[in-house]
Structure 1
């Protein structure tokens, strides 16, 4: 069976096409486009016209690849930007009409479950761990062990949302940092209580910003070929401090930091710092598998069970 998974994220649309057999999941194509669906007015629950058009154009391109690879099943999931937008339904309808793509708008809870499936497929979860996926619109947290999920939640504290709401200076000033930290404190009380209960000491960062952190700390790691990688906590703290103190222009020329994340990486560092400090985290690692791989492995499981 040839399967295609489309992940319509707030910042980036991803396409994975894979051959699923009884013994393996073989990726045939992996591509993405920086659509920036949440550009400009995500906190007003609007997909602006330019972003809307970029999204549909990208889905048309993805459809061509799907046809080229003679795909048997397509699973397209939309997350925070679409589910919170007043015109999200219009986008879903346009995707069907103009690009021939049926989109399922998933809840934050479903998103967290798929992220867990993706991270679990790397084999990275040995002891009780906290998984964090910093998206553009929302951030998902999952506490899990090798047997399964113990607790999960999704919060509207994605990097694009917080950037638009709080990042108004260059570099980000102390008062804006404190406003973000106050917002995180108000928002993440349930997370902190869950961490106090289950006591995860290891944080697994799911793709996205954590790929940037990993690549900037250790450029020798081939992020396209590894499923997971350790992140030295001291090196992370040094990098985070450097990112938060830097200007936009300084970050633009930092190696292994893609253009899409030049500003949002600052927010990602602030969120990560808060979680590490307040959730008892002693070590961190990267999982390059995330929601899209979770959806893919879910399709694989369904095929094997069927």
Structure 2
């Protein structure tokens, strides 16, 4: 499976708005999905194919929009400036690619911040991007749509999770061939915690065993409503976990000893229980400097990755499974799949990156 990322050069601020093809150019239907989270700003631009969709452009940048939000209740000025610049690049890429339909969503940071609506208005005024602040249920279902194709088609029960910066979604998927292999959402919960908020609460640079245990216990409390919802669900003999986020892709990269992150090696990787245990133990044994120097982590995630591991460990403790499948895909793919399905193009399912 190969990727096609033909990245175009950035254009000036006078570029056409998303959805406006360049003058004199006739382009096929081109879709864009933008996901602005608490930590990351991500964009995919794709065109439908007979098998799914083909990604023609992509962008991802850590912006930490939610930096300090758990302490102040507001989006900070520096974070807003960083995010506006990343969104400007996204806007110019969408314009350069002649995007004909786009959905641009914002999640927990904008949902929770006192000035979230004010920020959305600022983005519209400055960039012409209409950010949609989605609710937690929508976020959970989009994540399932984007990741569900990686579920074991023989499994009748799967716990899927998406560890975010300010919120983490956990979903019970009912699988099997009758579900098309993507799974049906049986229950879901959005925990109002993520790697950024957890690291701000407990610290992310020097994480002792006691701190890690406290973080894990804190997540376990937040899991309680979901645990109650699925108390009567049956786990089949092929029950497994399916995870998407920087946390699980980092764990995969560390497990594989990658000299630099490689999506093709990570997306769809199966890890056994002992392999996950080993990768988490390695991460916990690293100093902050060692985490920052690791090519699959970097200084931008070095203070967040152990908070993510604590979220993962709480999930694994309550939903023990012999297998974890890693997904380097998520909301953006779910958005693209949903738009194309609504327009009756493609095979009406999430496609592979070809």
Secondary structure of 1:228's aligned partner: coil
Alignment of structure 1 residues 2-81 onto 2, 5 Å: 2-21=30-49, 23-81=51-109
Tell me the matched-pair count: 305
Aligned counterpart, 1:271: 311
Residue deviations 1:42-70, cap 9 Å, x none? 34321100001111111111111111101
Deviates more, 1:95-104 or 1:184-193: 184-193
Alignment partner for residue 220 of structure 2, among 171, 178, 185? 185
Aligned-pair distance for 1:124?
Answer: 4.5
Aligned counterpart, 1:160: 196
Residue deviations 1:131-169, cap 9 Å, x none? 01100000000110233111111011201000001116x
Decide whether aligned partners of structure 1 residues 124 and 302 sit closer, same or farther in structure 2, where only a CA change above 3 A counts.
Answer: farther
Aligned-pair distance for 1:24?
Answer: 2.9
Aligned-pair distance for 1:219?
Answer: 4.2
Aligned counterpart, 1:215: 253
Secondary structure of 1:86's aligned partner: coil
Residue deviations 1:269-289, cap 9 Å, x none? 111112111223221111122
Aligned counterpart, 2:268: 228
Secondary structure of 1:113's aligned partner: helix
Secondary structure of 2:263's aligned partner: coil
Structure with greater helix percent: 1
CA distance in structure 2 between the aligned counterparts of 1:24 and 1:139, rounded to whole angstroms = 27
CA RMSD of aligned residues (A): 2.1
* TM-score of the pair, normalised by structure 2: 0.81
CA distance in structure 2 between the aligned counterparts of 1:163 and 1:75, rounded to whole angstroms = 30
1:204 aligns with 2:242: yes
Alignment partner for residue 238 of structure 1, among 272, 278, 296? 278
Decide whether aligned partners of structure 1 residues 126 and 11 sit closer, same or farther in structure 2, where only a CA change above 3 A counts.
Answer: farther
CA distance in structure 2 between the aligned counterparts of 1:87 and 1:66, rounded to whole angstroms = 26
Alignment partner for residue 209 of structure 2, among 164, 174, 192? 174
Aligned counterpart, 2:8: none
* TM-score of the pair, normalised by structure 1: 0.93
Decide whether aligned partners of structure 1 residues 23 and 186 sit closer, same or farther in structure 2, where only a CA change above 3 A counts.
Answer: closer
Aligned-pair distance for 1:176?
Answer: 2.3
Decide whether aligned partners of structure 1 residues 23 and 284 sit closer, same or farther in structure 2, where only a CA change above 3 A counts.
Answer: closer
Secondary structure of 1:209's aligned partner: helix
Q: Kindly name which structure, 1 or 2, has the bigger radius of gyration based on alpha carbons.
A: 2
